[in-house]
Amino acid sequence: MTKTPLETRKTIEQIVQIVDKGHRFLIAAHENPDGDAIGASIGLALILEKMGKQIHVYNRNAAPANLQFLPRLDLLSLETGAPDNFDAAIVLDCGDQARLGDISDSISEFDVLVNIDHHSTNDEFGTINLVDPSASSTGELIWQIATAGNWPISKDAAYHLFTAVYTDTSALGNSSAKPNAFHVCGEMVEKGVKPEWVFREYYVNQTEPRLRLLERALSTLRLDSQGNIAGLVLAEKDMKDTGTGPDDVEGFVEYPRSIGGVKVAYLLRDSKIGVKGSLRSNNHVDVAQIAATFGGGGHSKAAGFKTTGTLDGVRADLVEKLAAALQKES
């Protein structure tokens, strides 16, 4: 699946041609969008808008509270568009076609389907696929394409692409922050982006309900396997009682992960559609593989899943699987 640098360059050239020649584009990303999904979608949309293209940006969900500081979120639509209305669809940051919300089925009807992503679990469902797990984020890939095509990147577009790279690398602080991630962010700062503003808006600003929810989550902290595994759980009731939503859980998994000696961390959350899990690895355990056993996916160091069962049942099952994976690693 991994392409050679030459193949990657050819794919980028193909994408540039499709965009340069076409007029009407559907841009979509995975549901429950994060900084990369929103940043890559709107960032690309703003670039295309400046090139005089007609664009429709679809997502199943609105941008979460911690991304509301970004400009031009009015471009995001919860309405799908009919395939006939577009020359091509560009799907971003979506490792799994099923996460495309209301267009997950109709997306196959597009004659030209450009799939741009950095999830290693992406099964290349597009007619053109730029899937590069070595990229920090989809935002970084959009920057590469825009640069190759000499496309105009406005300050607003730069804010989106910066936020995409910056948040997917945990403020340039995790292992996916390779030199190119810093390079892209540097370019965006030169275009007028203020990193301190993005940092404050995204990472520092809190609400009282979110801190109340965190208090509850932390009270469920449990360590297993001699302190190698740490995790939190949240029941639906915790969210109801504190008046919080799924967005407020964002980043909670970093708390168990931050304990010295912890090799794998998890957060499990009860919801109407079953138990949702987030996994993080600090060492060589590939959590994408563990997530896959629950029907999920992601990256080797950050992955997620949705499954049926009770919170306690899934926790027991997950801890057992993580312990077995750690055993194999040692």
Q: Is 279 helix (H, G, I), strand (E, B) or coil?
A: strand
Q: Do 271 and 238 contact (CB within 8 A), yes or no?
A: no
Least separation in angstroms between CB 40 and Mn ion: 7
- Closer residue to Mn ion (CB): 91 or 230: 91
Least separation in angstroms between CB 65 and Mn ion: 19
Least separation in angstroms between CB 117 and Mn ion: 8
Angle between helix axes 179-190 and 138-148 (nearest 10 degrees) is: 60
Least separation in angstroms between CB 75 and Mn ion: 19
- Closer residue to Mn ion (CB): 168 or 238: 168
- Where along the sequence are the contacts to Mn ion (CB under 5 A)? 36, 93, 137, 168
E-strand stretches of the chain: 24-29, 54-58, 76-77, 88-92, 113-117, 128-131, 222-224, 229-234, 264-271, 274-281, 297-298, 302-307
Query: Cα(118)–Cα(140) distance, rounded to whole angstroms?
Result: 9
Helical H segments across 169-296, by residue range: 179-190, 195-199, 208-218, 236-242, 254-257, 287-292
Least separation in angstroms between CB 305 and Mn ion: 16
- Cβ-closest residue to Mn ion? 36
Query: Cα(198)–Cα(176) distance, rounded to whole angstroms?
Result: 19
Q: Do 40 and 142 contact (CB within 8 A), yes or no?
A: yes
- Closer residue to Mn ion (CB): 168 or 224: 168
- Closer residue to Mn ion (CB): 106 or 300: 300
Closest CA to 110 of 22, 41, 173: 22
Least separation in angstroms between CB 30 and Mn ion: 8
- Closer residue to Mn ion (CB): 8 or 41: 41
Q: Is 11 helix (H, G, I), strand (E, B) or coil?
A: helix
Closest CA to 289 of 244, 325, 245, 236: 325
Task: Calculate ∠ Cα 160-163-166, nearest 5°.
Answer: 150
Query: Cα(168)–Cα(305) distance, rounded to whole angstroms?
Result: 18
- Closer residue to Mn ion (CB): 57 or 262: 57
- Closer residue to Mn ion (CB): 36 or 250: 36
Least separation in angstroms between CB 212 and Mn ion: 29
